Amino acid sequence: MIPYLYVGPGARTAALAQAASDLEGSPDGHPDAQLVIAEAGEVGIDRVREVILWARYGPIRAPRKVAVIGPAERLTREAANAMLKLLEEIPPHLVAVLFAEALDRVLPTVRSRSALVWCTGAVEQVQAALHEAGYSEEEVAFISSLLDERVEEAAAFLPERRDPLGEWRDAEAAARGLSLIELAAGLANHSADPLRRRVFGRHLVGALSRAAPDELLAVAERLAKDGKGAVAAYLHELTRFLVVEAPTAWPDLAPALRSSWARKASLARGELDDNANPRLLAEVVALWPRRT
């Protein structure tokens, strides 16, 4: 299971609320909960090591164990490095929940290995800015669905007003019927634009299950040609597709394989931040279902 990282005003409250939901009771004093919360100062390596040791064993009372750690921006570098192994190989009986107030101060190695969940305050601020720029209610809802709670990407739609619904239709028409390499080029060219990235990403990822191994390698090569940004966009869109759309789009893909593929794609985003070879990462992730 991919760890959660709640960000923004109310992140701590949201993280504790999720812990209570997973534990089916309050996390305070719960035998299956570890709350590593710094009221002041830093979160040090000793606290993280305690969680790693505690996480080795299954739950006593709840369906799963839950570890709540934060603020994530106060993790020392040593603590963050110690926690990477846990974030990369979370036991099936553990839910890891992190929270932070300032995403830009969270170490990239932690941030990229987590599923970001922006708390209501941040989302509402972005939606208010979109309304102020003249977007309709339908357009604001549509843009919000593209952001995947990565609210910083709303800047692509501000301050100048765009025509998101019209642009989506045009991009869909442009992507329809393209080859895998052409779709990869489209994704690479629009990796910084959440709207066109989503269109080309969906078409590209949706065709992966039908592609031959040599075609997958060619896609990885084309993406890597444009550098880390294009490969990061591909990994993001693949992870989202596997979690959101693949259960319907790929009904023949076993849930366990789909889950492991999504996890591999998510972890690869962290490896990319650690300066792993973009082309090799893209190749390994694209070929993942055929190697397991």
How many DSSP H helices and E strands does the chain contain? 14, 5
The reported pLDDT for the residue numbered 200 is 98
Please, which pLDDT band fits residue 173 given cuts at 50, 70 and 90? Answer: very high
Write down the pLDDT at residue 289: 85
What's the pLDDT at 107? Answer: 85
**Among 1, 107, 111, 143, which residue's Cα sits nearest to residue 64?**
1
158 vs 60: which has the higher pLDDT: 60
Answer whether residue 39 shows pLDDT above 80: no
Using only C-alpha atoms, the chain has a radius of gyration, in whole angstroms, of 20
The identity of residue 157, as a single letter, is F
* Per-residue confidence (pLDDT) for residue 42, from 0 to 100: 85
Pairwise pLDDT comparison (262 vs 162), residue with the higher score: 162
User: Which H or E run includes 122?
Assistant: helix 120-132
Residue 50: what pLDDT? 94
Task: Return the CATH superfamily for domain 4-118.
Answer: P-loop containing nucleotide triphosphate hydrolases (3.40.50.300)
pLDDT (tens digit per residue) in 120-136: 666 777 888 899 889 99
pTM over 0.85: no
Percent of the chain topping pLDDT 70: 96
Residue recorded with tokens 């922006």: 118
Which runs of E-coded beta strand occur in 76-142? 94-100, 115-118
CA distances from 162 to 103, 129, 136, 166, 233 (A): 27, 13, 11, 9, 21
State the average pLDDT over residues 171-184: 97
Asked if residue 149 has pLDDT above 70, the reply is: no
Where in the chain are the domains? 4-118, 122-157, 164-291
At residue 233, does pLDDT exceed 70?
Answer: yes
pLDDT in tens, 236-274: 999 889 988 988 989 888 888 888 898 888 888 778 876
